[in-house]
A and B are shown apart, each in its own frame.
Chain A
Amino acid sequence: MVDKDIIFAIVSSTLLILLLIAILVIVFFISGKQRIKQEMEMAEAKLSFERELRQVETEVSEHVMSQFAQEIHDNIGQLLTAMHIQIQNQKLDHPQLAEEFRPTEIYLGEVSQHLRLLSRTLNNDYIGHIGLLGAIQTEVERLRALKRFEVHWLPVKGKSNLGKDQELMVFRIFQELTQNALRHSAAKNLYIEIDTKNGQFELSLRDDGCGFVHEQVQASRKASGLRNIAKRAQLAGLECSISSSPGKGCEFKLKKPATHNGSQKQ
């Protein structure tokens, strides 16, 4: 009888402890899950706030650029036209000065052309109207006119496979990249490629300039442009990659990520 009592006491207390451990493990598991769920909700809220903030930032900068484009078109453009008319009048009044006015007329024509192109590339309505590929074509013409480097670009026909907002973002990224190439690269050639086959989208910009150490630049305060590019790409739901090394130029790729079934996200 005593044997049985001892066995019962020890086995039952052991089982009781086992049960307590099982309960504790379940409680830990549930509390851990709840904590992770809470953390995920907080991270999602933070992400959504950040996304909204970037959206507002983008809208504000687009608005400013549109106003700037309008100002160039309506005000500076009109003044240049007035100057052109004035020169024409002067030429009619003094035909002997026609040859002397010719260089001024040429410069004036170039300035008007540059400003018109600039006004178009800043105007998001215009970009929305002509589409990304047309806007890039306009920007390429503007860059070629600057004669700072040779722009290698074969115009692409058709559509970009991107949404309107994505197109605008891609175009602003493209502008930021070409500005960087103009200001910092000292490149002789700029190669631009766009691949829109099979419903995909990939933009590639490559230069043969001085290049840079990506990690160093990213860590420095100068990288606001690069950070801006990354932010815009993220906001547009695109993948971007930069590869560069000193003396070997720089290559930037912007890509629409593939979905699981092999097609790409819109």
Chain B
Amino acid sequence: MVSIINEALSLSIALSAGIYAFRYMNRFTRILFYQLITWICFYLGSYALTTYQENSNIEPNDHWLLNIHLLLEALWLTVAAYNYSNAKTRKSLALILYGVFLIVFTIQVSVSGFSCFANLGMAAAGLMITILYLFILYDAFRSKAGLWYTSPEIWACIGLVIYFACNVPYFSLFTYLNDHYPILSGRLFSVITDVLANIRYFFLAIAFFIAARTKAVSTVNPHGR
């Protein structure tokens, strides 16, 4: 219950900051905001679905919904990374990595079925997003090292990299743990994934807030004098 409240709180903060900053956002930050809205929709959908299943005495299973979300989440984040850089190699890398993720996802879904969470697909997505966003982070630090804390891209990327990279070990063993140690898996989920998700959305909220603040300052003084 505490983890749900925490996650709902961090999502609400990020959503509020995103709505406040929406008109000041660049394309990259805006795509991350769309991804946030997508996750909130799926989160609410998943909550409604599991509540309904519990009330109808059906075993709760929202894994198929999370699989759909995984595809969309990876797609949004790939599109954001694709748009960030003008270099052809970076764009190609984003497409290739998304292709690799799709292959892993498809293989796992075809073997385990769509109602089983594609944990290896999630791990592949984690690796893909970590690589793409480390490149973005590198570029952002190179262009704004002096004022790195005023760059929304840097805050958003740090949050995303921490979330996806640190989730790889847990999600690699997710199905195994769920099958053999379900209680332990639940505990690890709330210790690792929930905490990381809160960190991710907290950083995203900071990124949105900074995007609004930076643009607002430059509107007052367009020459930056």
Binding site for B on A (CB under 8 A): 2-3, 6-7, 9-11, 13-14, 17-18, 20-21, 24-25, 28-29, 31-33, 35-36
Contact A35 B145, beta carbon cutoff 8 Å:
yes
Q: Which of B141, B146, B177, B191 has the most CB of A within 10 A?
A: B141
Q: Which residues of A contact B134 (CB under 8 A)?
A: 24
A-B contact pairs, 19 of them (CB 8 A): A2-B181, A7-B184, A7-B188, A9-B169, A11-B191, A11-B192, A17-B169, A20-B165, A24-B134, A28-B141, A28-B142, A29-B148, A31-B138, A31-B142, A32-B145, A33-B146, A35-B145, A36-B145, A36-B146
Binding site for A on B (CB under 8 A): 134, 137-138, 141-146, 148, 158, 161-162, 165-170, 173, 177, 181, 184, 187-188, 191-192
**Given A32-B145, A35-B142, residue A13 in contact with residue B169 (CB < 8 A):** yes
Q: Give the Cβ gap from B165 to chain A, nearest Cβ, in Å.
A: 5
Contact A10 B148, beta carbon cutoff 8 Å:
no
Q: Which residues of A contact B141 (CB under 8 A)?
A: 25, 28-29, 31-32
Complex Cα distance, B145 from A10, in Å, reads 33
Complex Cα distance, B166 from A11, in Å, reads 9
Complex Cα distance, B134 from A28, in Å, reads 9
Q: Which residues of A contact B162 (CB under 8 A)?
A: 18, 21
Q: Which residues of B contact A21 (CB under 8 A)?
A: 158, 161-162, 165-166
**Given A10-B170, A14-B192, A28-B138, residue A3 in contact with residue B184 (CB < 8 A):** yes
Closest 3 CB pairs of A and B: A32-B145, A32-B141, A28-B141
Interface residues of A: mostly helix, strand, loop or mixed? helix
Complex Cα distance, B162 from A11, in Å, reads 14
Q: Give the Cβ gap from A196 to chain B, nearest Cβ, in Å.
A: 25
Q: Give the Cβ gap from A17 to chain B, nearest Cβ, in Å.
A: 5
Complex Cα distance, B1 from A9, in Å, reads 26
Q: Give the Cβ gap from B172 to chain A, nearest Cβ, in Å.
A: 9
Contact B137 A25, beta carbon cutoff 8 Å:
yes
Nearest A residue to B167 by beta-carbon distance? A14
Q: Which of B138, B144, B158, B192 contacts A10 (CB 8 A)?
A: B192
